[in-house]
Amino acid sequence: MSHHKHWIVESICPRCEKTNVIEVPEGELVVRVHCQHCEHGYDYNHIVREHKEVDVDD
């Protein structure tokens, strides 16, 4: 079993302005987000400025 850390990030969609909560590997500063709220989905880049750290066991 491996142990690693992920970040939980809240990202606001520039199209619908709703919040997407995503989990990213620790250290990722730019991530691609697929909006869960937009009707046909919407992909955008998010720059990580704030995050919550979580431990994950596989």
State pLDDT tens for residues 23-33.
999 999 999 99
Asked whether residue 9 is domain-assigned, the answer is yes
How many domains does one find in the chain?
Answer: 1
Asked whether residue 13 is domain-assigned, the answer is yes
Please tell me the pTM assigned to this model: 0.78
Asked whether residue 17 is domain-assigned, the answer is yes
- Alpha carbon dihedral 32, 36, 37, 40, in 10-degree steps, equals 80
Asked whether residue 45 is domain-assigned, the answer is no
Give the pLDDT confidence score for residue 58 in this predicted structure: 59
Question: In 3D, which of 19, 28, 35, 34 has the Cα closest to residue 51?
Answer: 28
Residue span of the structural domain in which 14 resides: 1-26
State pLDDT tens for residues 46-56.
999 888 888 76
pLDDT at 3 over 70: no
Asked whether residue 1 is domain-assigned, the answer is yes
Asked whether residue 14 is domain-assigned, the answer is yes
Choice between 51 and 13, residue whose per-residue pLDDT is larger:
13
Asked whether residue 19 is domain-assigned, the answer is yes
Asked whether residue 10 is domain-assigned, the answer is yes
Contact between 33 and 23 under an 8 Å Cβ cutoff? The reply is: no
